[in-house]
Amino acid sequence: MQKIRPCLWFDNQAEEAAGHYVSVFGGDSRIVDIAHYTEASPGVTGSVMTVEFVLAGQEYIALNGGPEFSFTEAVSLSVDCADQAEVDRLWDALSEGGEESMCGWLKDKYGLSWQIVPRVLGELLGGPDRARAERVMTAMLGMRKLDVQALRDA
């Protein structure tokens, strides 16, 4: 078991969301366990309480905690993408039914914020060429989904 696992609070969509995320990321992603509310717990007896799942090797817990809390952009999941094809695939799958934002950020249909980031961005922003880094930053700030070629051309 991973020492620290993010716990994501959903109203009542924990199982649906975990299943969606597992289908989007594939590979080393899976549902590990589903726990249900009992008569002694505050939720509806027999309904899903928590879903333990893994996305690309990272463990998470999804909790059906009710409508008291919702996600904000103050916390997001940042995804390192190898290339434009991966950026496109994940952007399309996670933004469907959600909301696109700026600079590679989006909210999925459950309200969870994601940053879909091509690996090359760090390389282009780092290094000794500060003028290039400024051009890349300016280009990125004008984008929704990040465009690897446009970043390289900046």
Same domain, yes or no, for 136 and 95? yes
pLDDT at 43 over 90: no
Q: Supply the range of the domain harboring residue 115.
A: 71-154
CA distance 27 to 140: 29
Same domain, yes or no, for 86 and 151? yes
pLDDT at 1 over 90: no
Q: Which two tokens stand for residue 42?
A: 């505050």
**Residue owning tokens 């909301």:** 99
Say how many domains are in the chain: 2
**Looking at residues 45-70, what average pLDDT do you find?**
97
**Looking at residues 61-83, what average pLDDT do you find?**
97
Same domain, yes or no, for 15 and 80? no
43 Cβ partners below 8 Å, 6+ apart?
37, 49, 64, 66
Same domain, yes or no, for 7 and 64? yes
CB 97 within 8 A of CB 16: no
Q: What is the pLDDT of residues 16-39, one digit of tens each?
A: 999 999 999 999 999 999 999 999
Same domain, yes or no, for 151 and 83? yes
- Please report, for the domain that includes residue 125, its CATH number: 3.10.180.10
CB 121 within 8 A of CB 133: no
The reported pLDDT for the residue numbered 127 is 80
Closest by CA position to 34, among listed 25, 22, 89, 68: 22
